[in-house]
Structure 1
Amino acid sequence: MATYLRKKNVFASALTLFVMISSLNAQVADIKAICGKAKNPSFCTNYMKSNPKTSGADIKTLAQITFGSAQTSATGALTKIQSLAKTANSPALKQGYTSCVEQYKSAISILNEAKQSLATGDKGGLNIKVSAAMTSSTTCQDDLANVKADPSAVKNSDDFQNICGIVLVISNMM
Structure 2
Amino acid sequence: MTGLKSYAMNMVNSKQFDDSKVKEALKDCVNFYSHGIDSVMVAIMAYRVKDYRTSNVQMSAAFDSAFDCEDGFNERKGLVFPLKKLNQIMIYVNELPLYFTYVLSNGATGGGGDFKGTCRKCAKGDPNISYDFCVTSLQAVPKSHNSTLKELGLIAMKLTKTNASSTKSFIKNLLKNKKINPHDKLALQDCIEVYSEAIDLLKEAMNDFKDKQYSEANIKLSSAMDSSTTCEQGFNEKKKGKMSPLTKENRNLFQLAAISLSIINMVGGKSYY
State if a TM-score over 0.5 links the two structures: yes
Question: Does 1 or 2 have the higher relative contact order (CA < 8 Å, sep 6+)?
Answer: 1
| Matching residue within 118, 122, 143 for 1:34 | 118
Q: 1:149 to 1:141 in 2, by over 3 A?
A: closer
Separation (CA, whole Å) in 1 of partners of 2:143 and 2:254: 21
Cα RMSD (Å): 2.0
Unaligned runs of 5+ in 2: 1-110, 124-128, 268-273
| Matching residue within 131, 134, 147 for 1:44 | 134
Bigger Cα Rg? 1
Question: 1:34, 1:169 within 8 Å by CA — same for their partners in 2?
Answer: no
1:54 and 2:144 are equivalent in the alignment: yes
Detail structure 1 runs of 4+ shifted over 4 Å in the superposition.
Answer: none
Superposition pairs of residues 54-73 of structure 1, within 5 angstroms:
54-73=144-163
Counterpart of 2:253 in structure 1 is: 160
| Matching residue within 168, 185, 199 for 1:94 | 185
Question: 1:35, 1:44 within 8 Å by CA — same for their partners in 2?
Answer: yes
Give the fraction of aligned pairs with identical amino acids, expressed as a percent.
Answer: 29
Question: 2:114, 2:145 within 8 Å by CA — same for their partners in 1?
Answer: no
Instruction: Compute the displacement of 1:28 (Å).
Output: 4.8
Higher helix fraction (1 or 2): 1
1:120 and 2:215 are equivalent in the alignment: no
Give me the TM-score of the superposition, normalised by structure 2: 0.50
1:147 and 2:242 are equivalent in the alignment: yes
Unaligned runs of 5+ in 1: 1-26
Question: 2:232, 2:244 within 8 Å by CA — same for their partners in 1?
Answer: no
Give me the TM-score of the superposition, normalised by structure 1: 0.77
Separation (CA, whole Å) in 2 of partners of 1:48 and 1:69: 8
Counterpart of 2:249, as a letter, is N
Counterpart of 2:91 in structure 1 is: none
Instruction: Compute the displacement of 1:102 (Å).
Output: 0.8
1:80 and 2:170 are equivalent in the alignment: yes
Aligned pair count reads 147
